[in-house]
Every structure is written in structure tokens, then in C-alpha cells.
Amino acid sequence: MGAAFQPFRLGPVTLRNRVVMPAMTTRLAAADGSVTDELVAYYEARARGGAGLITVEMASPDPGGRHREREVGVCDDRYVNGLARLVRVLKQHGSAVFVQLGHAGSRSPADVCGGDPVGPSLVTHRVLEKGWHVVRARALNVREIEMLADSFARAAVRARQAGFDGVEIHAGHGYLLGQFLSPLDNHRTDAYGGSLENRARFVLEVLARCRESLGPDFPIVLRITADEFAPGGITLPEAINVCVWAADAGASAIHVSAGSYNSPSPHAMTPPMTSPYGTFVSFAREVKKAVRVPVIAVGRIHRPELADEIIERGWADLIAVGRALIADPEWPLKAQAGAWEDIRPCLSCNRCREEMMAGQIRCSVNPWVGRERGWCPRPAECARRILVVGGGPAGLELARSLALKGHRVELWERRPELGGQLLLAARAPMFQNVEADEETIRGFVLWLVRRVRAEGVKVRTGTAGTTANIRAAQPEVVVVATGARHRFPLWFLLPGLLRSRIAKNRLVRRLLAHGRVKELLLRGLRVAQGSRLAGRLRAEGMEVHLVGDSVVPGDLASAVEGAAQLAVRL
């Protein structure tokens, strides 16, 4: 058993391992913030998967601090029963459960918070929430600051009443408490602005009020941004001082993150695939040297061996695994068992973050995120001989899922290598909206191939799915996953375009490689070749299904989602 999977005691709470699921918004709560069956199923999958501590997503202690639609509610007593149901289910699987309390401040659009947005100072931000909003916040007065500190304390008490094992106070990433800490948002000249001591005053008052209301033994974690990566913003030396004061004010642990909405890149808080693994760990290591309470490290800790190294070297006491738990809820169990190659790899493509901001949660590699209630692991009532034509991500995911249900599956790919168009996407400068890393993307292809072979799928490369070949194989069911083909004019013009002076411009090349730009350019030039094959096979009386780009040209997430959902029906 690695160091990251040893039990750990956080105050009176004993964690079964040191893996923390950090707070990540899901959009699975009801419109009024109530707990839904979908929300319970999402978190239950991660508890069943072995996470030692699950931190339920950010919930505002005050109605005016909501940061997203369908945000989990904790600002009123009416939410306690629903939260209690969520906690009971997660604890049945052995996880400790915290909830993150955070106020969006000047990052909350008026139609979300239901009133005038507020912040430490009069500031204007552009906020992405199902589209762009210009949010002009007014400055809180001292009385309102004191009332909000009390709201945090009351919300923490509700969390304890609901059965949570602890709370996390969010003072990072550019939300209200982080805004008070940051000189970029806090321009006050009173006791809550100016010096670091003054800018930290609100955070410390919130901690002190919560500690007073909860008593000495209920764990309170402070999450903080160690560096905003923005000129004039929070830096590590300032963050360390705040962490020391926070521990004295009642914080039981410090969760050290980095980046904020003030950072130049929208991906600063969620490092993309070209970022080093453990990219924020150095910040946690420096904070740990200065404080006497446990420290949680975060930042692309996707590899189990890295998690063990962080604990063994004493850089942190706990490790937060976020997007990797979205990609594979069973990450902790597989890592603890040494089955590292079985972990479905997170691409760090930030599809989850972008889709969440657009109104839902999705993942490029896990088709069941947010749909955990619809996942059907039951074996097929009748095992059938199924032929999957096409070895791209849709075909591979489908073949794997069908074999798991007990079907006898064969997969054909006309090329010598499996992976389809995803292998080409891995070589492009951009993948979706982040810089591409070929090794990371090919790692997902290799995972799919390993799982297909491990489940007993018979794979034949260099085999074309012609009508004659398929007829000779006599499958009971055929699934066409051959993708889309460009019409002749594009291929006729493409060599000249690529040799042109314009195409050699770096910006143009990056735009042409960008997944969404490319899709817009090609949408009118693509035709699903699979539909023609399917028509011929159906004319011969075969049961045929289409999946992936053979249905509608889309993206990786759409391909694996369509494959998984078809597998449930077959």
C-alpha cells in the first residue's frame, strides 16, 4: 500500500486514505439548490470508488453569493434534509464528507445572485455563466461584511446538522474572500484594505466566527490561492502569511491551490495537458514549512506514483485529485491496488470546466459523468455476436462496453493502427481549447486498446468493413463506427492551401488545427460515409447501428457518449 493510501486523522475524523476529492461544480442540483438524485449518484460513484474525503461543491452561505445556476444550497435551513441524505449515502461507502462554503462576490451575475453583486470594492468583471456577463459590483460596507461573516458561521452549523464531517472555506480563485485578499480586487482604504493584515481581516473573521459556532473539534479547511499569476495579485509570500494567521484563527488544514479569475489564462486554475504533473505542489510544500496544521496539495496529481511521492517526501499531508476523479471515479481503488494502467486517463483538456460554465458537466473520456443513474452494468439478457466496424474512439469504447455486458464482440479497423482520427488530433497544435500534448492524447487511445483486449474483444486491423466482408462474417449485429469522410473538393484544394503563404502563418495554422474552428470549416464539407454502408447492410436484412461521426460529426466527448449509450441499449 502506497503512502497516499495510508489512513490519516484530520481532527476527530479518520480518513481511510489521503485522497481528497476537491470541490468542483456539477450543475446537478435542482434549480433552487436542492439535492437531486443525479447529484447523489454523481458523488456516490466517487465515494464507491475509494476517495478518502469528498468535498461537496461550493455552496454560498448567502443567497446573494451564488456563483452558478443550479448551485447546491446551504443558505437556509430547508436544505438540511437533502444534504443529510447526500451525506448518509456517501458515508455508507466509507468516505468522509465535507462541503465547501464560498461566496462569489463580484463574480456573480445579477440574474444568478438575484440582486446587486457585491465585492470588496467597486469593480467590473466579465463573467462566463452560460454566456458572457458584465458584472459591476458595489463595495460592501462594514456592517454587511460582519453580516456575511455570520452567514458563513450559520451555514457551517447547517453543514454540521446535515452530518458533514467538516467544512472548507473558499478563500481563493477570485471569489469573495479571495477578492478581499487580492490587491487587484480590493481597493479599500478602511480596516479591510491596504496592508496584507487588513486585506486578510475578513477571511480571519470568517474563520473565527465559524470556529466559535462549531466548537474546537469540527474540522475547518481553508482553501487559498498561493499565486494569482497576475501582476499586482497575490503572491506566495503573502499567501504563506495568511495561512499562518488562518491556522491561528481556527483553520484545521490548508488547501493550497493557485491561479484565479485575475490570471491571464482562463486555465490557470485548472492546468491543461501541457502543464507538468503536480504543477502546484511546490506551493503546498512551501506552505507546509510554515504552518503546523495539515496541508492539502492539488494540481494535476493524476499519477498514483506522484501522489505517493508527495506524501513520502513530506511536501503535503493530503493530495487532492479533481479532474482525474471525473474521468475515473475508481481512481483511488485502482491506484491502491496497483492497477495503474486500468485507470481511465484524464486528458486535462478542461472539457469538464468549459461544459460546466456552459450549463452542464461533461468529460471527454468518461461518458457517464452526470449520468451515473443511467449507467447499466447488468449483463446482456442474451449474448450476441456483434461486429464493430471502425477502431476510432467511438468504436473502441463501444466494443469495450459491449464485451463488459457479455456480448461476443469483434472489431475491425482498416488501418494498421487503432485510434482513428484521434491520432491525428494528438499531433495538432491545439486540442479543443488547450495546447495539445501528443503523449497525453495517445495515452487515452492506448488505454482504450488495452481495455478492449482485456475484455476479450477480437481485434482485426488492416481489415476493411466492406459489404462482402461483413456478409461473410455473418454477425448478428453490425455497428458502423467508421467516422466521416471529406468530400472531394476539400482534398483537391488542401495541398495547395497547405503550401500557401497564408497557411504558413503560425496563428492561422493553430486556428486551422483548433477543433471547433475546424469543425465549423468542415461542417458543410463532411458526409457520413457510414450511413451508405449501413443502408446496404440493412437492405440485406442485417441489424445495423451507427455511432460516433457516422451519425453526426462531433467531438471526442460526443463519440464516447454515443458509444456508451448504444452499448446500454444492445
Quickly count: other Cβ atoms within 10 Å of residue 204's Cβ.
20
Cβ atoms of 387 and 478 within 8 Å: the answer is yes
Known catalytic membership, residue 192: no
CA atoms within 13 A on the CB side of 99: 28
Cβ atoms of 129 and 112 within 8 Å: the answer is yes
**CA pair distance 348, 355, nearest whole angstrom:** 14
Beta strands in 40-90 (DSSP E): 53-59
Cβ atoms of 392 and 483 within 8 Å: the answer is yes
**CA pair distance 116, 64, nearest whole angstrom:** 8
**Residue in 370, 368, 372, 367 with CA at minimum distance from that of residue 26:** 370
Catalytic residue among 42, 79, 175, 261: 175
In the chain, the largest separation of any two C-alpha atoms, in whole Å, equals 83
Q: Which position has the grid cell 491520432?
A: 423
**Residue in 248, 228, 250, 247 with CA at minimum distance from that of residue 238:** 228
- Tell me the three cell numbers of residue 143: 456592517
Beta carbons within 8 Å of 33's beta carbon, 6+ residues apart: 59, 66, 70, 71, 72, 73, 74, 75, 79
Length of the chain: 570
The amino acid at 381: E
- Tell me the three cell numbers of residue 413: 479497423
* Cα angle for residues 534, 538, 542 (degrees, 5° grid): 110
For residue 555, the cross-strand partners are none
In the DSSP assignment, the letter for residue 355 is H
Cβ atoms of 425 and 431 within 8 Å: the answer is yes
**CA pair distance 534, 339, nearest whole angstrom:** 39
The amino acid at 338: G
Q: Is 295 helix (H, G, I), strand (E, B) or coil?
A: strand
CA atoms within 13 A on the CB side of 37: 4
Residues with a catalytic annotation lie at 175
